[in-house]
Amino acid sequence: MVFTTAKNSYLNDENGVRYIDFLCGAGAINYGHNNEHAKRAVLEYMSTDSILMSLDLHSTSKRAFIDAFQSIILEPRGYSYRMQFTSPTGTSVVESSIKLARKVTGRQNVIAFTNAYHGMSGVSLSLTGNRYHRQSISYGSVTRLPYDRYVDGLDSAELLRQYLRDPSSGVDHPAAVILESIQGEGGLNVASVEWMRKLRDITQEYGIPLIFDEVQAGCGRSGRFFSFERAGIEPDMVCLSKSIGGLGLPMAVLLIKSELDKWRPGEDNGTFRGNNLAFVAATEVLQRYWRDDAFQKALGEKETILRDGLADIAKRYPQKIKGVRGIGLMQGLEFHSGDDTSATIAECFAHKLVVESCGAYDQVLKIMPALTIEPEVLRDGIAIIAKACHRLFADSRADADIGAVAATV
């Protein structure tokens, strides 16, 4: 399949066939394809021969983004961060965060978690949980702990506290603890508020930088701009990429508490840290969608539509589907078998819906529509999933009236 054009929540192939997009660049296009507001701002900027490539030099577009991010996102939430523009990918910003934590603390060990995904390069790959991706190359010590509720009855935050308290635990005092509050590639696992707060307390008690990887779950994907906001905590560092670029343009930002900003000039550098087109698009979507709570309220309404629709599908096919996972517009269906997930993805694609899988066994159908998707288009996409499951899994005992399924979503 070769795609040619895209607009809002639709992809069009070279034969003119239209698909609903529930993938959205794996969360890089939160505001839809060719978002009209961001695109217009970028085209106007380019028409004046404004600077496009500026390394780490200051530019008007960079200043405008910093001002917008501070006034619209950070200050209303009471957050105080310095902003570092790293090389423009998610894995790059994670690499920078760990590099800085190791520099500041003088320690090497990093606490990461089961099912984590932090990128595909060097240090970030060593933090990623899935052994399919990892290689037998060492990029410093990593201690992997169970994610929240990974093991029934085990509080891994308390396990970390005991490791740190016990001088014979064998776990070196870490340079950082890094986590996703919603594990996207790991299977849409959602950390509880209580667990995140406990981790914050423990890391503060023992002087350990706490890093949140918001590359996929940030920028509104969870229903709030930052996915950790629901816990009422303030991490020491925050990694942003993907949709921070506004139109899917490459960009990454590391938010750093001021007391940790120990970089020497040029110590952590890269050629493409100054993507001015991304600054322009990012500024536009911040001003357009995040100045008041209307957009976030609309996200809550769409979250309910998605959860109710998926819950109805799961209820109809319990022999195939365990249940609904995730929050916000980052939800999915967990199947008992990854083969059933793959079959559902293929059936959805045949009926013009693009969707992907995640999880250790690819057992979760992962749904990440544009945050700007119209409710009726969202319902149309859910209806395609419902019909796909009906075609694949319905039997004489199942509800054969697929019209009723579509009507419920």
Domain limits, the chain:
3-30+293-408, 39-289
Q: Tell me the C-alpha distance between 378 and 382, whole Å.
A: 6
| DSSP code at position 8 | B
- From start to end of 184-229, where are the E strands? 189-190, 210-213
pLDDT at 138: 59
pLDDT of 391 > 90? The answer is yes
Backbone φ, ψ for residue 167 (5° rounding): -65, -10
pLDDT of 34 > 50? The answer is yes
Q: Tell me the C-alpha distance between 168 and 164, whole Å.
A: 9
| DSSP code at position 53 | B
Q: How many CB atoms lie within 10 A of CB 399?
A: 12
> Quick one: 21 exposed, middle or buried, by C-beta within 10 A (0-12, 13-18, 19+)?
buried
pTM of this structure? 0.93
pLDDT at 274: 82
Pairing mode, strands 3-7 and 321-327: unpaired
Is the CB of residue 26 less than 8 Å from the CB of residue 19? no
pLDDT at 122: 78
Q: How many CB atoms lie within 10 A of CB 368?
A: 28
Distances (CA, A) of 194 to 112, 158, 198, 324: 18, 12, 6, 21
Each as own residue / partner, the long-range contacts of residues 338-345 (CB below 8 Å, 24 or more positions apart, any chain) are 338/362, 338/363, 340/392, 340/393, 341/365, 343/392, 344/385, 344/388, 344/389, 344/392
pLDDT confidence of 123, banded at 50, 70, 90? confident
pLDDT tens per residue across span 349-381: 999 999 999 999 999 999 999 999 999 999 999
DSSP one-letter string for 285-301: HHHHHSSSSHHHHHHHH
pLDDT of 400 > 60? The answer is no
Closest CA to 232 of 203, 205, 262, 198: 198
State which amino acid sits at residue 16.
G
**Using N-to-C axis directions, what is the helix angle for 60-68 and 276-289, rounded to 10°?**
30
pLDDT at 139: 65
Instruction: Choose the weakest-confidence range: 22-36, 233-247, 260-274.
Output: 260-274
Beta-carbon contacts of 194 under 8 Å, excluding residues fewer than 6 positions away, are none
255: helix, strand or coil = strand
Domain 39-289: which topology? Answer: Aspartate Aminotransferase; domain 2 (3.40.640)
3-state secondary structure string across 261-285: CCCCCCCCCCCCCCEHHHHHHHHHH
| DSSP code at position 317 | -
Beta-carbon contacts of 311 under 8 Å, excluding residues fewer than 6 positions away, are 324
Provide the mean pLDDT of the chain: 94
pLDDT confidence of 397, banded at 50, 70, 90? very low
Is the CB of residue 317 less than 8 Å from the CB of residue 395? no
Domain 3-30+293-408: which topology? Answer: Aspartate Aminotransferase, domain 1 (3.90.1150)
pLDDT confidence of 398, banded at 50, 70, 90? very low
pLDDT tens per residue across span 6-30: 999 999 999 999 999 999 999 999 9
pLDDT of 395 > 80? The answer is no
5: helix, strand or coil = strand
